[in-house]
Amino acid sequence: MTATTSGDQTPALHFVKGHGTQNDFVILTDPAAHLDLTQAHVAALCDRRRGIGADGLLRVVRSAALVERGVLDALPDGVAPDDWFMDYRNADGSVAEMCGNGVRVFAHHLRASGLVAADRFTVGSRAGARPVVVHAHDAVHADVTVEMGTVRRDGDSLVRIGDDVYRGVMIDVGNPHLACVVPDLTATDLAAIDFSDGVVLEPDAFAHGANVEIVTAPGTPDGQGRLPASMRVFERGVGETRSCGTGLVAAGAAVLAHQGESAGTLCITVPGGRVEVGIRADGSHLRGPSMLVAEGHLRPGWDRPAS
Ligand SMILES: N[C@@H](CCC[C@H](N)C(=O)O)C(=O)O
């Protein structure tokens, strides 16, 4: 992966490493879309042994530049040419439409780096515009809310995980999910689920694969009226992660549907922390922490195989 400068003059590439409830990302700032982000390069960079290691990569790029360079055919719904665009890739190098934790970390990076000077702005994504509010931030920590858009519920489907089969709701939050609420599942049972053989979806259920969430039924509301629940997730293009923002919104909608409700606020615990999810008839939100933990440079030639 090189900047467009040719030959051995390629400059060292600056990166930032961050996470949202331990869903971790490599962030590359590339305003004019000069980087040639191939699937193999992204996979190598996200590899925890031969690269920096991450669940995904966030390229920080001007929306218009992605269209000019042919990465996008057109600007997605509501995205303006000047908006910063989160060009998201999974750890295996595949492209995904949206990443909820990624938007929180992306917005934090924009504020902390001075690329954006306001606390309210819009981030572009392949799933459309995602308005954010940065409630507080410093160089390392931030608290960010993302408007996650409409949650579309489809029919039910099944997933096999090891010897167990779970029924869930197919939910689109810009990207596809199967959110399975298991009423009698305790937090201990949830922690014991073995994802090591992956997840097997019904063959015709999802044209492009899906992320799978296993969620407990909600407990009694907390002091702020939020329903508590716990979740684990197996992400398309990654494997099990310690959190997934779009998955949390899908899980929130599934928990509410399980209660016979279509709107409400939840506080959901994942292995990497806790976030707030709000579901409304006309949209949804995700609020939670972001951390930017490191920065550095990729050495020119990092992607050449060892001789
Ligand atoms: N971790 C993300 C979701 C990333 C994309 C997902 N793996 C997919 O392929 O749809 C999140 O926080 O939403």
List pLDDT tens digits, range 154-211: 999 999 999 999 999 999 999 999 999 999 999 999 999 999 999 999 999 999 999 9
All residues at 6 or more sequence positions from 89 whose CB lies less than 8 Å from its CB, including other chains: 37, 39, 42, 46, 56, 57, 59, 95, 96
pLDDT of residue 291 exceeding 60, the answer is yes
- 57 Cβ inside 6 Å of ligand 1: no
Ligand 1, atom 2, lies closest to the CA of 99
**Would you say the pTM of this structure is higher than 0.90?**
yes
Mean pLDDT on 234-246 = 98
Mean pLDDT on 66-73 = 97
Give me the pLDDT at residue 7, please.
Answer: 45
Residues of the chain with CATH 3.10.310.10: 7-148+291-298, 152-281
Give me the pLDDT at residue 12, please.
Answer: 86
Give me the pLDDT at residue 1, please.
Answer: 61
DSSP bridge pairs for 239:
235
Mean pLDDT on 214-226 = 96
Give me the pLDDT at residue 9, please.
Answer: 52
All residues at 6 or more sequence positions from 107 whose CB lies less than 8 Å from its CB, including other chains: 116, 121, 123, 132, 134, 142, 144, 146, 290
C-alpha 199 to ligand 1 mean position (Å): 15
- 272 Cβ inside 6 Å of ligand 1: no
Mean pLDDT on 22-39 = 97
Q: Do residues 56 and 46 lie in contact, with contact meaning Cβ atoms separated by under 8 Å?
A: yes
Which residues are the active-site residues?
A: 99, 244
Pairing of strands 176-182, 211-216: parallel
Q: Do residues 126 and 71 lie in contact, with contact meaning Cβ atoms separated by under 8 Å?
A: no
Mean pLDDT on 35-49 = 96
Here the tokens at position 210 are 């899906």
Q: What is the chain written as a DSSP string?
A: ---SS-GGGPPPEEEEEEEETTEEEEEEE-TT--S---HHHHHHHH-TTTSS--SEEEEEEEHHHHHHTTSSSS--TT--TTSEEEEEEETTS-B-S--HHHHHHHHHHHHHHTS--SSEEEEEETTEEEEEEEEEE-SSEEEEEEE--PPEEEEEEEEEETTEEEEEEEEESSSEEEEEEETT--HHHHHH---TT--EE-TTT-TT--EEEEEEPP-S--TTSPEEEEEEEEETTTEEES--HHHHHHHHHHHHHHTT-S-EEEEEEETTEEEEEEEETTEEEEEEEEEEEEEEEEPTTTTSPP-
Neighbours of 307 (CB within 10 A): 3
Give me the pLDDT at residue 128, please.
Answer: 98
Ligand 1, atom 4, lies closest to the CA of 99
The identity of residue 157, as a single letter, is S
Q: Is 101 annotated as a binding residue?
A: yes
Give me the pLDDT at residue 183, please.
Answer: 95
Give me the pLDDT at residue 74, please.
Answer: 98
Q: What percent of the chain has pLDDT over 90?
A: 93
The identity of residue 71, as a single letter, is V
DSSP bridge pairs for 234:
212, 240
Give me the pLDDT at residue 305, please.
Answer: 82
Mean pLDDT on 207-232 = 97
Q: Considering the domain delimited by 7-148+291-298, tell me its CATH architecture.
A: Roll (3.10)
Give me the pLDDT at residue 4, please.
Answer: 40
Q: Which residue has the higher pLDDT, 81 or 2?
A: 81
Angle (nearest 5°) at CA 194 between 193 and 200: 100
Here the tokens at position 69 are 């360079």
Fold of 152-281: Diaminopimelate Epimerase; Chain A, domain 1 (3.10.310)
C-alpha 99 to ligand 1 mean position (Å): 5
Q: Do residues 298 and 12 lie in contact, with contact meaning Cβ atoms separated by under 8 Å?
A: yes
pLDDT of residue 5 exceeding 50, the answer is no
Angle (nearest 5°) at CA 209 between 259 and 35: 120
Here the tokens at position 120 are 């309210």
Q: Which of 2-16, 139-153, 154-168, 291-305 has the lowest mean pLDDT?
A: 2-16
- 21 Cβ inside 6 Å of ligand 1: no
Atom of ligand 1 minimally distant from the CA of 103? 12
Give me the pLDDT at residue 157, please.
Answer: 98
- 235 Cβ inside 6 Å of ligand 1: yes
pLDDT of residue 3 exceeding 70, the answer is no
Atom of ligand 1 minimally distant from the CA of 247? 13
Atom of ligand 1 minimally distant from the CA of 241? 1
Give me the pLDDT at residue 102, please.
Answer: 98
- 245 Cβ inside 6 Å of ligand 1: yes
pLDDT of residue 109 exceeding 60, the answer is yes
- Is ipTM beyond 0.90? yes
Give me the pLDDT at residue 78, please.
Answer: 97
